[in-house]
Amino acid sequence: MAHQLNENELKQKARHYRRDILKMLYEAGSGHPGGSLSSIDILTVLYSNVLRHNPENPCWEDRDRFILSKGHICPALYTILSDFGYFAREELGQLRQYGSMLQGHPCMHHTPGLEVSSGSLGQGLSIAVGVALAARLNGTDIRTYCLMGDGEVQEGQVWEAAMSAGHYKLDNLCAIVDKNGLQIDGNVEDVMNIDPLTDKFEAFNWNVIEIDGHDVVEIGNAFLQASQFSGKPTMIIADTVKGKGVSFMENAPGWHGVAPNKEQLDAALAELEEEK
């Protein structure tokens, strides 16, 4: 990437994206705020400072690949893609409408900048393994990234993928678990405990880095470490808050898949305005 954003710029960007996400969901009348807001800082750093990509040429062969495995948080990705110029900003207002470029879950044939369609949880890491294997076979330095939810890692396929990435020592692969502690039915811990997550991935032969998933500096450092680590894939376990940035959405399971109404939107935007 030509220009690296500094800490303050990253924070400003993320705040701007948070506002966009809420407005999009309000317009759409449905969608997933909680997991979008918990992931947005990670995605902001990834797209601004880490990922090698070219919005003018989304199909550029040498681009790094980002696989959004937890497809339901695509509003977070859409707002970033539009900001980078993959498509016009007006499209954001069409989220989830009939005929829209922006489907309720990612469709690669509708939206420029998406690597693959997703929305059925637990499939993305396998795809990322395939991409990383091909990149290595081709002798390219392309890196592959994959974002998952913490409820999502309950899927058996995630562990099959993790085993294969460890087996093939895919150090060109970096995955992130957005560990916000919540899924739809409640706390991940109560629905189906996934811990100790770090030990599990280490046992599957991954390099594991634990970070605060809202600290843009920590996020950037983790991506850097991952790219410098050789012999193992890297798993970034990001400790996050579901609904981060909007007080009444934070840590509230009810905000997994519900859009704000006008009042709630205004209250949320006001909070995101004040923060400096």
Partner 1 sequence: MRIVNLTVDIDNPERIPTRFGYGEGLLEAGQKNEEVVALGADITGSVKADLFRDAFPDRFFSLGIAEQNHIGVAAGLALMNKIPFVTNYGVFLAGRGWDEIRTTVCYSNLNVKLGGAHGGISVGPDGATHQALEEISIMRCLPNMTVVVPSDSIETKKATLAAAEMFGPIYIRYGREKVPVITDESTPFKIGEAYCMREGTDVAIIACGAMVYEGLVAAKELEKEGISTMVINNHTIKPIDKATIIEAAKLTGAVVTVEEHQVMGGMGSAVLEVLAQDCPVPVEMIGVMDRFGESGDPETLMKAFGLCSENVAEAVRRVIKRK
Ligand X SMILES: Cc1ncc(C[n+]2csc(CCOP(=O)(O)OP(=O)(O)O)c2C)c(N)n1
Q: Which two tokens stand for residue 132?
A: 């990383």
191 binds, among Mg ion, partner 1, ligand X, none (CB under 5 to 8 A by kind): partner 1
Contact call for residues 128 and 175 (beta carbons, < 8 A): yes
Q: CA 92 to CA 275: how far, in whole Å? A: 24
Which of 151, 155, 156, 59 has its CA nearest to residue 114?
59
**Window contacting ligand X (CB under 6 A); options: 5-13, 80-88, 178-186, 215-223:** 178-186
For residue 34, state whether it binds ligand X (rule: CB under 6 A): yes
Among 31, 75, 113, 149, binds Mg ion (CB under 5 A): 149
Chain centroid to CA 24: 17
84 CB-near residues (< 8 Å, 6+ apart):
47, 53, 55, 113
Contact call for residues 260 and 48 (beta carbons, < 8 A): no
For residue 182, state whether it binds ligand X (rule: CB under 6 A): yes
For residue 243, state whether it binds ligand X (rule: CB under 6 A): no
243 to 29, 154, 232, 257: CA distances (angstroms):
17, 21, 32, 11
Among 49, 180, 207, 264, binds ligand X (CB under 6 A): 180
For residue 96, state whether it binds partner 1 (rule: CB under 8 A): yes
For residue 184, state whether it binds ligand X (rule: CB under 6 A): yes
Residue with tokens 């890196």, as numbered in its chain:
143
For residue 243, state whether it binds Mg ion (rule: CB under 5 A): no
For residue 240, state whether it binds Mg ion (rule: CB under 5 A): no
Q: CA 68 to CA 119: how far, in whole Å? A: 9
Among 20, 115, 150, 155, binds Mg ion (CB under 5 A): 150
Contact call for residues 185 and 198 (beta carbons, < 8 A): no
Q: CA 178 to CA 210: how far, in whole Å? A: 11
**With respect to ligand X, which residue has the nearer C-beta, 87 or 201?**
201
For residue 35, state whether it binds ligand X (rule: CB under 6 A): yes
Q: What are phi and psi of 90, to 5 degrees?
A: -60, -25
70 binds, among partner 1, Mg ion, ligand X, none (CB under 5 to 8 A by kind): ligand X
Among 161, 178, 216, 218, binds ligand X (CB under 6 A): 178
Q: CA 238 to CA 215: how far, in whole Å? A: 10
Among 1, 6, 7, 30, binds partner 1 (CB under 8 A): 30
Q: How far is the CB of 38 from Mg ion (least distance, A)?
A: 7
For residue 151, state whether it binds ligand X (rule: CB under 6 A): yes
For residue 118, state whether it binds partner 1 (rule: CB under 8 A): yes
Among 117, 198, 205, 227, binds partner 1 (CB under 8 A): 117
- Footprint of Mg ion on this chain (CB under 5 A)? 149-151, 180, 182
- Footprint of partner 1 on this chain (CB under 8 A)? 28-31, 71, 96-100, 102-105, 107, 117-122, 151-152, 154-156, 183-185, 190-192
